[in-house]
Amino acid sequence: MQPPSPVVSTCPNCGGALVETSGGQLGCMVCLLRAGIGSEEELQQNSTHEASEGDGHLGVYEIDRREDGSLYELGRGAMGVTYRATDTSLQRKVALKIIKIDIGERSADARERFMREARAAAALRHENIATVYQFGIREETGQYFYAMELIEGETLEERVRRAGPLNARTTIAIAQQVTYALAAAEKHGLVHRDLKPANLMLVEPDEPEVVGRDRRARRKRTAQRASPSVKIIDFGLAKALHTQTDPRSLTHERFVGTPAFASPEQFEHSALDVRSDIYSLGETLWFALTGKTPFAGHGVDEIHRAQQSNVLPIEQLKAAHVPSRFRLLLKSMLALEPASRPGTHELAARLQHCSPEARSARLRRVALAAAALLILGISASFIFLSLRTQNSLGNLGAPGKSIAVLPFENRSEDKTNAYLAEGIQDEILTRLSNRARPRSNIRANPGISARSRSSWVRQTSSKVPCKRRPVRFASMFS
């Protein structure tokens, strides 16, 4: 048995591979190098960013702290940092995303993008998208922030890193939920632009109560455990499609997103639509199934070149026992040209066709069809045999007429004449039999049967008197 493939994680900032440090943690050597050779001004800005959140208050939101007193950070990306916080007004837990202060000070466009993305995310209401409650600005520092639904669970990236790649059934269930969310975002004219395993939260369902040995309840519990509910978080890079702002003007020709899970259009700063997110979803599903990204590289340029080659390592999916139908779907999602990728409606239909439930339904339909054909065949055979029996009975017609030839008695005194009596009886019997049998030149008389001598012998040996035995002669002369 081969050992499981190691999970390759990527840096959310530069897209480079994360390596394990001596302390057992994952780190990005590219970002560490940049920090080492960065200017004193950049280091100052980073320290200012950490210090600005030291008090942990932004409006009605108070950032939670860990046991060691540090701020409860949930994650950070190129645009900002997300903390676990408490809404002191409504007394509820939220996820609070704060734009990095160095970006806010240096780029008005970055602040504009942050606010536009927050408004776009706030307009979305879907069960598979984390709800945005509020967005605002911290007046004293100029920091932008927004509060969104806190999802208690783990990201898809954390799940794969902890437990290894997922099976096809669970991955398809996750893909279906994400597809529904992307379809809802498409109706609002939005794309996510940073769809990746770290932005998909998995929430395991509550254990249903099972009474006794209810097999159906146990099957339902098993299915629920295998298919967690999904929430897309951090629409921090979402872009309103209906806006006429050139996306390159907001990024100054820089890459926006996570390279390892970005579409070719993002590398080329082209116009984006939902098919860009579908490409990113394909890469995300590939990671969920194999623990690897389909296009390896240590930076933006290497990953982009790997995409342009359009050579997918399909053997990774085969090694993970991914069904062929699902492999073909992933290949179409990762098509280089957006026009060759499925839209949200087609993707949802094809995912449904790939699901084990659909396969079970197809097998049930085949079984029912086979049973119906078997029943139809048996019924047809029964009807055929019944009709054949009726025809056979009909061909028998009315019962035939019989002529009994009784023996002649020798009443002469000469006993030697007894043979003449027997000979006359046999001659009459022979002639009658020839008349009942059809011949080419003699017209047969149907319905006449001549009783043989043996029959007569049996009849004469019975106890019924001869005068009481039925003898019929009429048809012979009719």
d(CA 402, CA 451): 7
| Separation CA 314–CA 330 (nearest Å) | 10
Contact 240, 272 (CB under 8 A): no
For strand 401-403 and strand 448-450, is the pairing parallel, antiparallel, or unpaired?
parallel
- Residue written as tokens 């449904």? 352
Rounded-to-integer distance, Cα 265 and Cα 300, Å: 13
Q: Is 277 a catalytic residue?
A: no
Q: Which H/E stretch holds residue 148?
A: strand 143-149
Q: How far apart are CA 197 and CA 166, in angstroms?
A: 12
> Catalytic: which of 64, 102, 109, 194?
194
Buried b (16+ CB within 10 A) or exposed e, 46-81: eeebeebbeebebbebbbbeeeeeebeebbebbbbb
In the DSSP assignment, the letter for residue 71 is: B
Own/partner long-range contacts of 15-18 (Cβ < 8 Å, ≥24 apart): 15/258, 15/259, 15/260, 15/262, 15/297, 15/299, 15/300, 15/303, 16/298, 16/299, 17/298
In what helix (H) or strand (E) does residue 369 lie, and over which residues does it extend? helix 356-396
Runs of H (alpha helix) within 227-355: 247-251, 264-267, 274-290, 300-309, 314-319, 324-333, 344-354
Instruction: Give the closest residue to 289 by CA, choosing from 256, 259, 333.
Output: 333
Would you say how long the chain is, in residues? 478
Can you list the positions of beta strands (E) in 276-326? none
Q: Do 239 and 193 contact (CB within 8 A), yes or no?
A: yes
Q: Which residues are catalytic?
A: 194
